Structure 1
Amino acid sequence: MNARPLWPPGHALKLLQKVQRHESPMELVYTSHERWPCPRLPIHPQRKFDTIRISVLDSSFNPPTCAHLTLANSSPPRYTMNSGLTDSTLASVAELDYDAKLLLLSVRNADKALKSGDATYEQRLEMMYLFSKDIPTSVSQRPEDKSESAHANVAIAIVDEPTFVGKAVVLRQFLHARISGLYTPATALDGMAISPTSDGISIPGLRLVFLLGFDTLVRLLSPRYYASEAAMMHSLRLFFSPAGDDCYVVCARRKLAEVEHTIQEDVEAKTLSAAKEFVESERVALISIGADGVDEQTSSSQVRTKVALKDETWKKLVTPSIANYITQNSLYVS
């Protein structure tokens, strides 16, 4: 028996078609609770809640892998959490986590188009739902805790934007409108510190942290995805600027030799300089996920290839719920 998402038949398809027809730039398919991205539970008592920090795992999810899960569960770099937290509070909080998490599927990818044998967008959304249940409520949560309270503050969305710079603009507009509608004196959750404005309350700001694989970082910093190198630098500085989109990037780096090879092959010298600028300004962080027992080389394409070759080791590269879904729906068999 297939495990199906908690949405009515045709719900995901309707939203997909709405986005694909350009009737809407972004749609939420699923949220873990009705007030997402605002926290479901009271926040840390010492924290002034003036910024909602949202990690955005943007992927093709074809299928989601254990590497995706490790990246989704990774602890945020501390400098992405600085607003609203004093040094003493930072020192007292053993493990920090994002306030909310977003699994994002783009229906218009700059490099990838649907191919024969791929999972459909609807199937990917269903796998994303199963995947979301494997994300614990915090980085310190025990994986075996499957109670409802252990579920992360997570949502699933679809967007019609091929570039991260474009996605950041759409996300900020969409999320600001959503939070403005939720964040009122009547609906504010316990633990939220609200301050009066002319309208009665102060809407918290947004901080987006994009979680990427290294190949995606290469594309973010490649001039060929922009009108020119000058246009790329202008767009990236706006993307990373506190006065602009105020975005961060956390990238899962590969083994050093492969990183160096990829850089030599795919990134020009001026793009490397751009990467250095944003790493030094602490807007781009490189992390290793191999220490958590996950093969850093795990990829969705690796899973698809192994399934097609009837190599049963593919099941070790995904979570049990995703493995069951792939098997039950005969995905990637040809």
Structure 2
Amino acid sequence: MNAKPLWPPGHALKLLQKVQRHESPLELVYTSHERWPFPRLPTHPQRKLDTIRISILDSSFNPPTCAHLALANSRPPRYTKPGLTSSTAELDYDAKLLLLSVRNADKALKPGDATYEQRLEMMYLLSKDMLASVSQRLEDNSEPEHANVAIAIVDEPTFVGKAVVLRQFLHARCSGMYHPATALDEMAISPTYDGISIPDPRLVFLLGFDTLVRLLSPRYYASEAAMMDALRLFFSPTGDNCYVACARRKLAEVQDTVQEEVEAKTLFMAREFVESERVALISLGADNVDEQTSSSQVRTKVALKDETWKELVTPSIANYIIQNSLYVS
């Protein structure tokens, strides 16, 4: 696998600078095909395309780990799949998005970190690992038919803010594909009946438990009341209509008392949204993947010359880290 992405030199930097200068709130760096987020091929005949289910893996990707890969390839929670019969209940998300924010509520760039350009290149490698882990590479080296992945950068630190930006961006992109002005364009979608409505994006944010803690922490909002108001709008079907799929911690994992208290408080804060089926705890379904596998563990192990760091990332990411001498003390 090539260590460099397919985009031209300077492409990612140009888009990064555009977002950082506030000229654009969000930019797509890469899409697996021009029709994204619409499927490359027609949808399943038993499901009308009135809703597009898009998984959002939002992270610092410094670097991407095996936990990122497992989360990115996790199955949709049952209740995020409207209109599906039992025979189609195991369908994947319609589209997937790897999202990098250039403004993080907790983390600022530090000496020794991968640059944003390097993270985007590793995200590209992760997108290829996502496909390789669920499908054998075709003989002609083309992408599998179900490939529907994109990479984007956004200038927004909170999930609530990202949801607003994403919905506005996706509505504009999808509307452009239906617009008569693009009817002769290959990426235009031909309506099959008059008065066709634009499919509504249904965003499912994929989180680790530590990120769920931050989403439900009042310190990131003006007050606890302001947090609940923001989250109710975030999850409301008449608001941003978002879902959260959170990786469940391993039951056998040894935890200290403080961590147990944090988790109990988080689940208590989330109970309203769990009961309304807006927050789901999911299993990553991989015995060799620990939800707590973190990018910081990789960076620390690389700096200490502990070769076990290679077990925490995919081979393509490991090769990239070595070739670019990342995280070396």
Report if the CA contact (8 A) 2:177-2:187 is conserved.
Answer: no
User: Distance in 1 between the 2:128 and 2:20 partners?
Assistant: 27
Shift of 1:125: 0.2
User: Distance in 1 between the 2:263 and 2:268 partners?
Assistant: 14
2:148 aligned residue: 153
SS of the equivalent of 2:143 reads helix
Cα 1:66–1:27, aligned 2, differ >3 Å: closer, same or farther?
same
Pairing 1:216-255 to 2, within 5 Å after superposition: 216-255=211-250
Pairing 1:1-334 to 2, within 5 Å after superposition: 3-82=3-82, 85-86=83-84, 90-93=85-88, 95-136=90-131, 141-142=134-135, 147-150=141-144, 152-184=147-179, 186=183, 194-197=192-195, 201-256=196-251, 258=255, 261-262=258-259, 264-265=261-262, 269=265, 272-289=267-284, 291-334=286-329
Cα 1:326–1:50, aligned 2, differ >3 Å: closer, same or farther?
same
Identity %: 78
SS of the equivalent of 2:270 reads helix
SS of the equivalent of 1:149 reads coil
Shift of 1:191: 9.9
Cα 1:310–1:223, aligned 2, differ >3 Å: closer, same or farther?
same
Q: Structure 1: which 5+ residue stretches go unaligned?
A: none
Q: Structure 2: which 5+ residue stretches go unaligned?
A: none
SS of the equivalent of 1:330 reads coil
SS of the equivalent of 2:151 reads strand
RMSD (CA atoms):
2.5
User: Distance in 1 between the 2:137 and 2:34 partners?
Assistant: 25
Shift of 1:258: 3.6
Cα 1:188–1:38, aligned 2, differ >3 Å: closer, same or farther?
farther
- What amino acid does structure 2 have at the position aligned with 1:149? E
Post-superposition Cα deviations, 1:79-133, rounded to whole Å, max 9, x if no partner, equal: 1011xx24xxx21126211000000000000000001100000000000011101
User: Distance in 2 between the 1:175 and 1:259 partners?
Assistant: 42
Post-superposition Cα deviations, 1:206-228, rounded to whole Å, max 9, x if no partner, equal: 10000011111000000000011
Number of residue-to-residue matches in the alignment: 322
Cα 1:113–1:263, aligned 2, differ >3 Å: closer, same or farther?
farther
TM-score (norm 1): 0.89
Report if the CA contact (8 A) 1:43-1:192 is conserved.
Answer: no
Q: Which moved more, 1:321-330 or 1:142-151?
A: 142-151
TM-score (norm 2): 0.91
Report if the CA contact (8 A) 2:34-2:187 is conserved.
Answer: no
Shift of 1:29: 0.5
Shift of 1:280: 1.0
User: Distance in 2 between the 1:316 and 1:143 partners?
Assistant: 22
User: Distance in 2 between the 1:191 and 1:248 partners?
Assistant: 27
Cα 1:192–1:263, aligned 2, differ >3 Å: closer, same or farther?
farther
User: Distance in 2 between the 1:95 and 1:223 partners?
Assistant: 36
Cα 1:153–1:167, aligned 2, differ >3 Å: closer, same or farther?
same
